[in-house]
Structure formats: structure tokens, C-alpha cells
Amino acid sequence: MSHHTPPSPVKKGKELILDITTAAFEGKGLGKVGEYAVFVKNTAPGDKVRVRIIRKRKNYAEGVLLELLDPSPVRITPKCRHAGTCGGCTWQHIPYEMELAYKSEHVKDHFQRIGGFRDISTEPVIGAPEPFYYRNKMEYTFGDRRWLTDEEVQSGREIADRDFALGLHVPGRYDRILNLEECHLQDPVSFRILDAVREYALANNIPPYNTHRHEGFLRNLIIRNAEHTGDLMVNLVTSGENDEIMQPFSRWLLERFPEITTVIHTINDTRSPSSEGRYQKVLYGPGYIREYLGPYHFRIDPNTFFQTNTHQAKALYDVVLGALDKVPVLYDLYCGVGTLSVYLSGMATRVVGLEVHAGAVGKARENAAENGVAHAVFEQGDMKDIFNDELVRRHGRPDVIVTDPPRAGMHESVIRQIINILPEKIIYVSCNSSTQARDVALLSEHYRLERIQPVDMFPRTYHIESVAVLSRIDT
């Protein structure tokens, strides 16, 4: 007797009417055709929508929103005209309180479904006091292929500036740039600078870079600002050196925006799309900005990684700090430039930071020295290779391990080594609760999950950080 899989109720390209019932991960709305799940971007629970199926899998499909037939009562008007197109924000069309509730559910769902934790409760999400204007860094891209809106395409009119754009990549299209006419993610001065840079480039015929042909001059505009010091960095990335263009450009910007404290010219003359470039020239100011997190100060160079939401970074770090007692030895795995190592340094006699990127380790040592934290040491290498018995012999067995791995989570050998060491406490900071839940489950034979605290670092997007506090089960 043969078993046939029931035919899927939807076909690629087919249009259908759908009721959106819940908010799914990655900010998509979820509707069902029988038991079959259909995910649709830019929808809200309670919407009745007409969608076209664009991708079909065995257990689910993805649809694109064609028409909002009956809007959900929870819907609000997005603050930004680009919401839904640009991909920078996913959830501007629902109230912030609802967004926080959905994020909390997603973390809880991951721990139940992936981690296998049955009766789990998460602490209420620590939301941002201001869900807009919170980013301390924005990276914009120049392009000579501007993304045209549906209205522009349908109008049939000749578009004057279609060969110049400055804004963000359209999701899924590395070669198409959405020309931003507003953006509410960074301090409002940031968008005014973007607007002025575009105006100057157009007025002076400075060509944008074309990725296919490796031609043109202007590649990226990066703006970084410090909340507590008021420092403001403008970094222009170009395909080559040209003082005749850059010197007047820089002077013009400083006249228009006296609040700019440093101007950087980054040269990326390679085909690589990286905005880090090959080298930098400082056109004005010290070439870096300074920022505070609590009592500690940090120097941020053009390519330094720093948490993108200063206010919420402190909130996140305070959660970790609050879960600690004073101990002899604390390890900080995946420590980056050592901001958390420095922030927690008052809670341990010795702090050991481990990080794969050599540049970040150099910065971490500088940050510790600048803040007078002499009892922090940093080691460079791949976590699965350097986090071994020999390292523990040299630095002492950790009483607490703080870990903040990349999205993919921790390598199995790192988890095995943690179990081998058995510190009293583990504090696991994550930007991806699905891999966090998987890793915590692997530790659960030896550790009790005390609490999960989500922290919203990226309002109006689907991203959510969470802190899991684990204590050793003494057998």
C-alpha cells in the first residue's frame, strides 16, 4: 500500500485570499490554508490580504502582499514612507508594545520548540525608551541604478535622477539602491547629512560607483555618532584617492554641519563590496569618536565594532552585570573589542577575553588600558582551538563564563569544553535565540536555566537579543 503525501494546497504563482493570524519570526505574518502555513512580509495579525505565492516548500510557502483587503485593527501608519520597501525596518506598521510582545513569544517559542524546555517563562522584554533614532551607525550605499518605485514605473515619465542613488540596498538586490527620502533610524542630523551629500555629489557631477563595471567614484557614506559625547563622524568611501574632489567636499560639509567632529576618507579600490576599504585618510578632526558606556569610555575608529544602540547596549550589559557575584576568574568568550570585558571588570579579580579577530583583540587591549583595567587579558584565536585545557591552566579555571557568540551559536567543542570545566555560572548573550536555545539544551544536563531576559536592541526590526542565566546543578 503506497502512501502519497497530500498535494500542497497552494501553487507557485497562484494568488489567494489569506487571513493573517499571528506574527512569525523575521517579522513576517502567518496565515494558513488548512494546516499549510503561508508567510507574508509587511502584514499584521488580523489583516485580510490578497497574496501571490512566490516560494513553495513541503511544509510552508512564502507569499508577497498584493493588496490589503481588510486591515487589522492593530495596524498603525508607518512613520517612514519607505517602510515595507527598504528592508531596514520590518515592523513599523504595528504598535511598539505589540512588537515587544511578539519578540518575547519568539524567544519563548525557540526555547520550547528547539531547546525542549517545557514550562519556560521569559522576563518581560526590556524595550527601548525611543524606538526610532537609536542607531549610532548607519552605512549608506551610492549606486548608479536607482530602485524605481511602482508609482514611478507606472507613470511612464522620464526619471531625471535614475542614474544616481544614495540609500540602502533593496532586500535581495545587491545592485539596486533605494534612494532614501527619509530615515528615522539614526539621529535626525544623519539624514540631513545624507541629503546634503547627495545634493553636493549631483551638483558637482561626482559619479557613483558601479559594482559590475568597477567604475565611478562614490561607494559608501557611513555616519557614526556618540550619544554621550556628541562626537559625529562622517566617513566617505570611494574607489580611489582624489584630493581635488575630497578636500572641497569635506570643507563644504563642515560649513553646512559644524557639529561634525571628524571626516574620514576611506579608499576601497578593490572589487570587494566591503566598506572597510584598503586604507584611510583623516580629512578633519582626530579620526575617531569617543563614547561612554556607564563609567567606561571607548574610542571608536572608522572600522571598530561597537554595539549599534548605545542606550540598549548599556541595558543589556546591566542585565549581565546584575546576574554576577564577585568572583576570582571570569572568562568572556567571543569578546570582540572588549567592551563587555571592561564593563564587567569590577566583578572579577581576573578577566580573560577570547576573540578570533586580531584587530578586535588589539582594540580590546587598548580599551582595557584606557580604562585602567590592568587585570584583563585577551587571547586571539578560533574559539574551538584556543579555548582548551592549556589556556585554563595558564589563566585559572573560570568561576563564571560569559559568552556572546555570533548568530550561528557556539561550536560543539566549545560546549564540550565548558562542560569539562563546569564553571558555577554561565551567562549566554545571544542575537539569535534559536541557536541559543539549541546550545542551552546541550548544557542542560549540568545546568539549570534560571532566567531568560530579552532585550530589544533593534526596535522596528525583527531582531531580538536575549540573555540566558544558567547555574550549575551540584550533584
What are the DSSP calls for 312-333, one per residue? HHHHHHHHHHHT---EEEEEEE
- Is residue 177 one of the residues assigned to a domain? yes
Looking at the fold, whether 327 and 236 belong to one and the same domain comes out as: no
- Is residue 418 one of the residues assigned to a domain? yes
3-state secondary structure of 360: helix
How many independent structural domains does the chain possess?
A: 3
Looking at the fold, whether 273 and 315 belong to one and the same domain comes out as: no
In the prediction, which pLDDT does 149 show?
A: 61
In the prediction, which pLDDT does 27 show?
A: 76
Tell me the residue length of the chain: 475
The pLDDT tens digits of the residues spanning 279-338 come to 999 999 999 999 999 999 999 999 998 999 999 999 999 999 999 999 999 999 999 999
In the prediction, which pLDDT does 15 show?
A: 87
Looking at the fold, whether 155 and 251 belong to one and the same domain comes out as: yes
431 is an active site residue: yes
pTM of the model: 0.90
* Active-site residue (options: 86, 183, 335, 431): 431
Looking at the fold, whether 119 and 145 belong to one and the same domain comes out as: no
| CA 73 to each of CA 95, 445, 462: distance values in angstroms, whole numbers, following the listed order | 11, 45, 21
- Is residue 80 one of the residues assigned to a domain? no
Are the C-beta atoms of residues 89 and 461 closer than 8 Å to each other? yes
What are the DSSP calls for 427-470, one per residue? EEEES-HHHHHHHHHHHTTTEEEEEEEEE-SSTTSS--EEEEEE
Largest CA distance in the chain: 81
Domain CATH for 31: 2.40.50.140
Looking at the fold, whether 145 and 34 belong to one and the same domain comes out as: no
Residues of the chain with pLDDT under 50: none
Looking at the fold, whether 145 and 126 belong to one and the same domain comes out as: no
Check residue 451 and give left, alpha or beta (phi > 0: left; psi -120 to 50: alpha): beta
Looking at the fold, whether 211 and 325 belong to one and the same domain comes out as: no
Among candidates 87, 109, 95, 91, which has minimal Cα distance to 27? 91
Looking at the fold, whether 56 and 166 belong to one and the same domain comes out as: no
For residue 107, what are the contacts with CB-CB under 8 A and spacing of at least 6?
122, 433, 452, 454, 464, 466
For residue 351, give its domain range: 113-130+309-472
